[in-house]
Amino acid sequence: FRFKDSLAEDLGRADLVISHAGAGSCLETLEIGKPLIVVINEKLMHNHQLELAKRLHRDGHVLRCNCSTLVETLQSMDLSTLKPFPPGQPEKFALFLDKVVGIQ
């Protein structure tokens, strides 16, 4: 997609999501339990997408590739090897924030 206000409906209907490795795209997809292939943009400077993709891949939550290996990844993928992404725990972040700002 070039631009959409929300991908929630599309993600909900998807059997497989292929996306760049932006944090929002990855987390939104993983939080609803959809299998995800992240395609690394190797032209980015200070490539935070690569770091995130490597970590999510190492933890078993996503498959990763680049543009030139996407077809190979699709042909050889085994989605049953992917591990569910643990649900977020916003209460932990809230407690951390309370400590930082001095609210007890």
**Hey, which residues does 37 pair with through a beta bridge?**
18, 63
Confidence of residue 28 (pLDDT cuts 50, 70, 90): very high
Q: What share of the chain is helix, strand, coil (3-state, %, to 5)?
A: 50, 10, 40
Confidence of residue 104 (pLDDT cuts 50, 70, 90): low
Bigger pLDDT: 97 vs 27: 27
Over the stretch 35-76, which tens digit does the pLDDT of each residue have? 999 999 877 666 778 888 999 999 999 999 999 999 999 999
Q: What distance in Å separates the CA atoms of residue 71 and residue 66, rounded to the nearest whole number?
A: 10
| pLDDT mean across residues, the chain | 88
pTM over 0.75: yes
Local structure of residue 80 (DSSP, 8 states): G
For the chain, list the domains and their CATH numbers: 7-101 (3.40.50.2000)
